Amino acid sequence: MKHGRKHFFSSVSTALINKRVDEVIEIVESALKAGFSVKEIMDRLIVPSINQIKDMFTEGDFYIPDVIHASRSIEAALYVLKPYKTDQTKSQKAIIGTVEGDIHDIGKNIAAFFIAFSGFDVIDLGVDVAASEFVQAVLENEPMILGMSATLTTTMKEMFSIINLLNAQELRNTVKVIVGGGPVTKEFALSIGADGYASQPHDIVTMMSRLSLHH
C-alpha cells in the first residue's frame, strides 16, 4: 500500500470534510484492494468520519450544506462497499423509510446500509412515506424490523401515528420498531412506544443484534 497506514486512515476523513467524492471512492477502493475487510473499513474509515462531521457541525465549523455534501460522499463510499459486504443468510427482512412530510434521505440511506450490514434484507420505502404505506409494507412483507426516520421536528409525530396504526391493525407485536433522525431523542422514542433508538447510524449494528436476540 503506497500510503502509510496512519495516513491512509486519516486521508478519507480529509477527503470527506473537503467533499471530494472521487477521492473518497478511490481511497475506499484502495482499501478493498489492499485486503481490508468491510468491517474494518467501516470501523476505521467511515464511522470516525461520520463522528468527525457531526462534531464539526455541532461546534459550528460545518454548516448544513457542508453536511449534505459530506454525507453524499459517505453514501458514495457505502455504495462502493455494498458488493463486497460479506454475504450472510438473510432470513429476516427490515423495512425503512422517511416519514410523511419529510423528504430528507441522507440519514435514512446510511442507516439502511448499516441495517443491511447487520445481515437483513432491507426494503427501502423512500421518503415522504405515509403511515398507511408503512403499515401496508409490514402486512405484505412480515419484516422483523421497521425503521422510521424524521429530520424535521414537525414530522416526528408521524412516527407515533404509524405505531398507533400498527396497533389498530393488530400488527404492532409482529415487528420491532426503531426510530432515528436529527431531532429524535431516546425519550421521544420511549414515549411513542418504539423498541429502539439510534443517535448515530453505526449504533444500529449493536441495536439490531440486541433486537434479534429478543425477537
Domain of residue 162, residue span: 93-213
Q: Based on the domain organization, do 80 and 106 belong to the same domain? A: no
Q: Based on the domain organization, do 34 and 105 belong to the same domain? A: no
Q: Based on the domain organization, do 194 and 175 belong to the same domain? A: yes
Q: Are 196 and 176 in contact (CB under 8 A)?
A: yes
Number of domains in the chain: 2
Q: Are 171 and 160 in contact (CB under 8 A)?
A: no
- Tell me: pLDDT of 85 over 50: yes
- Tell me: pLDDT of 98 over 60: yes
φ, ψ for residue 44 (rounded to 5)?
A: -110, -15
Pairwise pLDDT comparison (127 vs 89), residue with the higher score: 127
Q: For 116-140, write each residue's pLDDT tens digit.
A: 877 789 999 999 999 999 999 999 9
Q: Based on the domain organization, do 112 and 187 belong to the same domain? A: yes
Q: For 19-49, write each residue's pLDDT tens digit.
A: 688 888 888 888 888 888 888 888 777 777 7
Q: Based on the domain organization, do 193 and 109 belong to the same domain? A: yes
- Look at residue 165 and give its three-state secondary structure: helix
Q: What is the secondary structure of 186-203 as a DSSP string? A: HHHHHHHT-SEEESSTTH
CA angle 136, 121, 212 (to 5 degrees): 90
Q: For 54-73, write each residue's pLDDT tens digit.
A: 777 777 777 767 777 777 88
> 46: buried, middle or exposed (CB in 10 Å: 19+, 13-18, 0-12)?
buried
Residue that has been written with the C-alpha cell 423509510 in this structure? 97
Q: Based on the domain organization, do 207 and 119 belong to the same domain? A: yes
Structural domain ending residue among the three candidates 66, 84, 102: 84
φ, ψ for residue 124 (rounded to 5)?
A: -95, 115
